[in-house]
Amino acid sequence: MSKHTPGPWRIGRKVPHLVIAGTEGCLICDCALDEITPMEEFRANAKLIAAAPELLAALEYAVRYEVQVVNQENEHRVAGTHFPLPEWVAQAMAAISAAKGE
C-alpha cells in the first residue's frame, strides 16, 4: 500500500460539503451533508478524519515507547522471567496495521 497524504489535514467548507484536505491542497475526503446525520455529528466525524495522521503517529510512538520500556525491564529481570507487553499494545498494533492496510 502506498503512504497516506502527510498531515496535518484540515477541514474546509464547500457548501453543501465538508472537505478534508492535506497541506498541499490534496483532497482527502469530500463529505456531502445529508438530511439524516445531525450537523454536530457530521462535524465530529470530519474532525476525527482530519486528526487521523496525528492519531496514527501518536499511536506508533506509544507502541515504540512501550516496547522499548518492556525490553529494558526484561534485560534487568532474572533469566527465565519477563514482562509481557500489555494487551493495549496488541490492540494498538492491530489498529496501526488496519490504518496502513497491512
Average pLDDT over residues 7-14: 88
Q: Of 55, 46, 53, 47, which Cα lies nearest the Cα of 5? A: 53
Cβ-based neighbours of 45, under 8 Å, separated by 6 or more: 31, 37
State the pLDDT at residue 10. Answer: 93
Host H or E run for residue 66: helix 52-75
pLDDT band at 17 (very low <50, low <70, confident <90, very high): confident
Pairing label, strands 27-32, 17-21: antiparallel
Q: Kindly report the pTM of this predicted structure.
A: 0.80
Q: What is the pLDDT of residues 47-102, one digit of tens each?
A: 999 999 999 999 999 999 998 888 787 777 666 666 778 899 999 999 999 999 88
In the chain, what are the domain boundaries? 10-50, 54-100
Average pLDDT over residues 27-48: 88
State the pLDDT at residue 79. Answer: 67
